[in-house]
Amino acid sequence: MNRYIWSINGVPLSETDKIKINQKEITRITLNNLTMMHHPMHLHGHFFRVLNKNGDYSPLKHTVNVPPMGEVTIEFYGNEYGDWFFHCHVLYHMMSGMARVISYDTPRDERLDDYPLKHLISEADKYYSWAILDVASHMSAFNFTASNIRNQFNVGAEYGWNKNLEAEVTYERYLHDYLRVFGGVTIENETEDSLDEVSTTAIAGIRYLTPYLFNLDVRMDSKLRPQISLSREILILPRTAVFGTYKYQVDFGWVDNLAAEDSFTNETTWSAGFEYYLSRNFSLMASYDNRFGAGGGLSARF
């Protein structure tokens, strides 16, 4: 949801075919809302029955709200012809792709043209961007993201006052709402507590939003070092959240010196902390990172 990208069945309007239905038949649709926001679904040109415990007395509507993690079944009689729009009535959800076209197996009305639909598809492909800046007593961090339906660009950096640096620039391609592949470069200091030697390394991998909303990152860099990262933020009180990240990296490879043996090392980094939200844009935060130590400060979102 934080990308402002919405879809039906994991596919936005710009990538879908029309939903074909037959005239003079009853069509039944089950709507499953797997998000934490309400979605009032509206079908143009029809009234549909909202099937519920009232049976024959189920209400007749043209818009029905599907609550977070809820399910609603509707049915309607196909007594129209041509194409009809079906969409979420939260307009920015609709404009970002949460819509389909119900199409009868009949000739299209020649008085209509495709301009409104083409315009809507164009609107759905816009980029949205956001950023987070943390300034604390032990470190500072910055993350910037720009995303549309299928593409995402990320810039992130962490700098500890003990002169440890890690920065990353990546491009991601969404294969599914929860799965994407990525590639990019990382910049980090090679010597602990010193910026005298900084290296740039190419990376590639996959990112996956697992069940229970853990962010999984699996990657390999150009030095043949695999890394697995798992992170999660949990809201424990209305204004308070706890978060943590765990990274495990394995270094293996070979050297040109024939007298030397192959190398094998591993490294684990982790962090944990909490955040108190002062407003939509600002929060107080405190954290511990095994690279930077412990501290606290201010987090800004914009």
Confidence (pLDDT) at 254? 46
Q: What is the pLDDT, as a whole number, of residue 17?
A: 81
Assess whether the region 13-123 and the region 128-301 belong to the same CATH fold.
no
Q: Which amino acid is at 129?
A: S
Question: pTM value?
Answer: 0.80
Residue 60 burial (C-beta neighbours within 10 Å; 0-12, 13-18, 19+): exposed
Q: Which residues of the chain have pLDDT under 50?
A: 254-262
Give the integer Cα–Cα distance in Å for 98 and 39: 10
**Residues 184, 131, 163, 291: is their CA dihedral positive or negative?**
negative
- At 280, is the secondary structure helix, strand, or coil? coil
Phi, psi torsion values for 67, nearest 5 degrees? -70, 165
Residue 82 · residue 97 · CB < 8 Å: no
User: Which DSSP symbol is given to 121?
Assistant: H
Helix/strand/coil for 141: strand
Distance CA 106, CA 45 (A): 15
How many CA atoms within 13 Å lie on the side-chain side of 260? 8
If one counts every other C-beta atom within 10 angstroms of the C-beta of residue 228, the result is 14
Name the CA dihedral angle for 257, 258, 260, 266, rounded to a multiple of 10 degrees: 80
CATH architecture under which domain 128-301 falls: Beta Barrel (2.40)
Q: Residue 290: what are its φ and ψ, rounded to 5°?
A: -70, -5
How confident is the model at residue 110, as a pLDDT? 66
pLDDT computed for residue 266 by the predictor: 77
pLDDT computed for residue 109 by the predictor: 63
Q: Cβ distance 276 to 239 under 8 Å?
A: yes
Architecture of domain 13-123: Sandwich (2.60)
In the chain, domain spans = 13-123, 128-301
> Residues 243, 234: contact at Cβ < 8 Å?
yes
Cα–Cα distance between 186 and 206 in angstroms, integer? 15
**What is residue 95's predicted lDDT score, i.e. its pLDDT?**
84
Long-range contact pairs involving 211-218 (C-beta distance under 8 Å, separation at least 24): none
Instruction: Please give the DSSP secondary-structure letter assigned to residue 90.
Output: S
Distance, CA of 31 to CA of 81 (rounded, Å): 23
Q: Strand 26-32 and strand 139-147: pairing?
A: unpaired
